Amino acid sequence: MLLFSVLAAAVAPGLALLTYFYLKDRYDSEPLHMVFRVFLMGILMVLPVMIIQRGMMIWLGDNPYVEAILISGWVEEFVKWFVIYHIIYNHTEFDEPYDGILYSVAVSLGFATVENVLYAFAGNASVSVMFIRALLPVSGHAMFAVIMGYYMGRAKFTDGKKKRWFLMLSLFLPFFWHALYDVIMNTMVNHWLWFIAPLMAGLWYGAMGKITRANNRSPFRFVKREEEIKL
């Protein structure tokens, strides 16, 4: 029974957050099968990412800053970005700016969910520990994904030189915040809470603003309003 409880606590945060972001799509909800497929892509990413990270640790050595910035932050965010850009970016279902956020979150939460399950089994974690992980690493992956998806959505529906700029931001901003998060967790063993709490609060606040702005740029918002007027 305890094993089932810990497993449920490991899986539930990712599914709950994915549901939350799915319901935040105000104008043109994405097909559930597409969201699930992208979530599955995030799950399948875990093994290749772990292999790359293990190879880099052997090559670069055991340094907390290198691990936080390059091995964790850069590898994980780059692989997520690569998958979204090459598989989702030009898909016909990516037809409004908010879709960038939703699909980025789906990939990240698929990855974070498996990471959480592996941590639960490897570390003999308790339900209370999994609750803390739901508030921090799982939520953190979602916040980095919102940033990535927001700028991916801006790039998708922008022409000219700004497109490349937004694509760069969609990669480097999530990497920056992920690296900062990991540096705090890896190096500030006794004082991490004083730094991570305001960081997560700021990321959530920024994410809510990005969700609103992405929805407000939807080409379907006028259609929705016309339908409401007719009713």
How far from the centroid of its chain's Cα atoms is residue 1's Cα?
Answer: 30
Q: Name the one residue in this structure whose structure tokens are 């290198």.
A: 66
User: In terms of C-beta density within 10 A (0-12 exposed, 13-18 middle, 19 or more buried), how is residue 53 classed?
Assistant: middle
Q: Is the pLDDT of residue 70 over 70?
A: yes
Q: Name the one residue in this structure whose structure tokens are 């700021």.
A: 202
Structural tokens at position 119: 């941590």
How far are the Cα atoms of 9, 81, 143 from residue 170, in angstroms, in the given order? 30, 8, 12
DSSP state of 96: S
Taking a C-beta distance cutoff of 8 angstroms, is the pair 116, 141 a contact? no
Question: Using one digit for the tens of pLDDT, what is the confidence trace for 170-183?
Answer: 999 999 999 999 99
What's the rounded Cα separation, in Å, for the pair 71 and 91?
A: 30
Query: How much is the mean pLDDT over the chain?
Result: 89
Per-residue confidence (pLDDT) for residue 39, from 0 to 100: 96
Please state the rounded mean pLDDT for residues 109-134: 81
Read off the pTM.
0.91
How far are the Cα atoms of 81, 108, 136, 201, 221 from residue 32, in angstroms, in the given order? 21, 16, 26, 29, 20
Give me the long-range contacts of 32-35 (CB less than 8 A, separation at least 24).
34/91, 34/93, 34/103, 35/102, 35/103, 35/106
